[in-house]
Amino acid sequence: MARLGRRPDPSSRTDWFCGGVLISERSVLTAAHCLESERGEVNVVRLGELDFDSLDEDAAPRDYTVAGYIAHPGYEDPEFYHDIGLVKLTEAVVFDLYKHPACLPFQDERFSDSFIAVGWGSTGLALKPSAQLLKVKLQRYGDGVCKKLLTRQLEEFPRGFDGNNQLCVGSEMAQDTCNGDSGGPLLMYHREYPCMYVVVGITSAGLSCGSPGIPGIYTRVYPYLAWITRTLATF
């Protein structure tokens, strides 16, 4: 798991604002809207962190400087369609138990109805981001649910929900992704290796935060595998 932020200078405090996931020794997958925002451009990535409030842990977290980033060519701010991007680190990551690349989905995830989202986001709209890395179990909703919710002509989704490239995921309980979770992974169990997870989605946007029965919008990863592969070859 990666956390993305901006540090104005080496002596400044880092403003952490998004999540991501390591997919190669120098590349992090995240949401395109996390690359540039009103809080600035991402220029630092932390890997191996479990608890920002604790120095007594085995994960040995480390910060990496950003060499560059790229959003999918179909992404056009302020819209959240094709909300997927890559961050390149200035140096290769030495893999260990807490810092290693995630598995990408080489099969369509549509057969799965159960997911896990991970991040440091807040646990409520008015709350601060969590210091501890959290996970939450979520379930798939029918595309029609999100199509109905997105008929309000939101600025981020003026053409409504796109089931080909987006996932409609949430919970009937008061659990959800929230502010600060954007860019983080939506995971499902590997079909052949139950102890492994596959990154099938990227946290993109939500209409609420922890409201039962109101799902969020996640960018599907599978349709973008070709773009990811091409970009990694030249990035």
Catalytic residues: 33, 83, 182
Burial of 200 from C-beta contacts in 10 A (0-12 / 13-18 / 19+): buried
Residue 233 has a CB neighbour count (10 Å cut-off) of 7
Residue-wise burial string across 142-165, b where 16 or more C-beta atoms lie within 10 A, e elsewhere: eeebbeebbeeebebbeeebbeeb
Per the structure block, which two tokens stand in for 100? 């290693």
Give the single-character DSSP code of 228: H
Torsional sign, CA 116, 117, 118, 124: negative
Locate 8 and state its tokens. Answer: 């104005």
Tokens of 15: 């403003």
Helix, strand, or coil (residue 144): helix
Residue 119 and residue 175: Cα distance in Å, rounded?
13
Q: What is the dihedral of CA 95, 96, 99, 105, to 10 degrees?
A: 70
How far from the centroid of its chain's Cα atoms is residue 16's Cα?
13
The encoded tokens of residue 131 equal: 């210091």
